[in-house]
């Protein structure tokens, strides 16, 4: 069974631009969560999608948004990029969403390394 895939793997953008990251979950998984990982803040939860609906959201500004399609693939968008948005963005999928399944046995993708200059 193929794992979680994320595209692109690396991305360089300039301040003020916007970016869209893509995540394809493991086949059959319906929950997709997004995380931001930086050396300073560690791993931080962005949001979780289940059946095309955002179920949970972390403490990030509105510039960070996402969506999920009917085939469970998910995209994350960051608008008006700032230097501090440089990070590894991880996507994780799980079979079910909600309590407590989306956190239990999540499978992470390899991440997208975003550099903002």
Binding mask 85-114 for other proteins (x = CB under 8 A): -----x-x-----xxx-xxxxxxxxxx---
51 counts as binding other proteins under rule CB under 8 A: no
9 counts as binding other proteins under rule CB under 8 A: no
CA-angle at 12, arms to 11 and 17, nearest 5°: 105
The DSSP code sequence of 79-102 is: -S--GGG-EEEEEEEESS-STTTT
Output 62 or 100, the one with its CB closest to other proteins. Answer: 100
Q: Is the peptide bond before 8 cis (omega within 30 degrees of 0)?
A: yes
Contact footprint for other proteins (CB under 8 A): 33, 42-45, 47-48, 55-58, 90, 92, 98-100, 102-111
């Amino acid at each position: 069974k193929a794992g979680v895939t994320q595209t692109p793997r690396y991305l360089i953008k300039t301040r003020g631009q916007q970016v869209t990251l893509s995540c394809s979950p493991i086949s059959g998984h319906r929950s997709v969560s997004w995380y931001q990982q930086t050396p300073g803040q560690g791993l931080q939860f962005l949001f979780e999608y289940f059946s095309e609906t955002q179920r949970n959201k972390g403490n990030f500004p509105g510039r960070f948004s996402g969506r999920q399609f009917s085939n469970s693939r998910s995209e994350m968008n960051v608008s008006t990029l700032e230097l501090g948005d440089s990070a590894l963005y991880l996507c994780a999928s799980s079979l079910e969403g909600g309590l407590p399944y989306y956190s239990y046995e999540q499978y992470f993708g390899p991440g997208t390394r975003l550099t903002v200059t």
